[in-house]
Amino acid sequence: MARYPKPRSALLPMLHLVQSVDGHVSQAGIEFCAEMLGITPAEVTGVATFYTQYRREPAGEYHVGVCINTLCAVMGGDEIWNTLSEHVGVGHDKATEDGTISIERIECNAACDFAPVVMVNWEFFDNMTPEKAKGLVDDLRAGKEVAPTRGAHSVCGFKQMSRVLAGFPDGRGGEGVQAGPESLRGLELAKKKGWKAAEGETQ
């Protein structure tokens, strides 16, 4: 709370912090946030239900998001979702009985140049196929270390990632590939052709 000029501005990271302890935004967590920030539980609930990164039911240790928005869907996202849902035996926003995997249909992962994209605890797995997605969740359930396509060298658990999102870095921010070749193609082409952005008006 001390990081912000107004305490209620801390609500979003506090909800992530609740998830880092409870594995979802629990009723006790909602009441805690309300009490600490001097707002009502209804106000906290309104925020927690508006943003999709907050789980209202316990997430799996590995929360898997499958992008089903336009480009990913065209490239196979819907097929990945159907295959994965059948493979793990749960639907949207549900977790497996052993608590290892939960899955979610994501409207956009903001990584269209790598479509179709799957995320595990918000780490990218690019250019996926149904078989690769099945292998990914099988490896996670078997306790194997899994490396994202970009970002950190391995996927951490949902609670640990929630703590990072709450504003407590785990020291892995600079690991791995940050921007893949697909993302840099436009920049490389512009340099090759000598293109430059138009200069804006100065005040």
The 62-67 sheet, strands edge to edge: 94-95, 101-106, 62-67, 118-120, 123-125
Q: Around Cβ 192, how many Cβ atoms within 10 Å?
A: 8
Identify the three-state secondary structure at position 103.
strand
Phi, psi of 70 (to 5 degrees): -45, -60
The predicted model gives 159-177 an average pLDDT of: 89
106 forms bridges with which residues in the sheet? 67
Q: Around Cβ 31, how many Cβ atoms within 10 Å?
A: 14
Whole-number Å distance between alpha carbons of 82 and 116 = 14
101 forms bridges with which residues in the sheet? 62
Q: What is the pLDDT of residue 202?
A: 63
The predicted model gives 27-44 an average pLDDT of: 97
Query: What percentage of the chain carries pLDDT values higher than 90?
Result: 77
Question: Lowest-pLDDT range, 10-19, 24-33, 69-78, 131-140?
Answer: 69-78
Whole-number Å distance between alpha carbons of 118 and 72 = 9
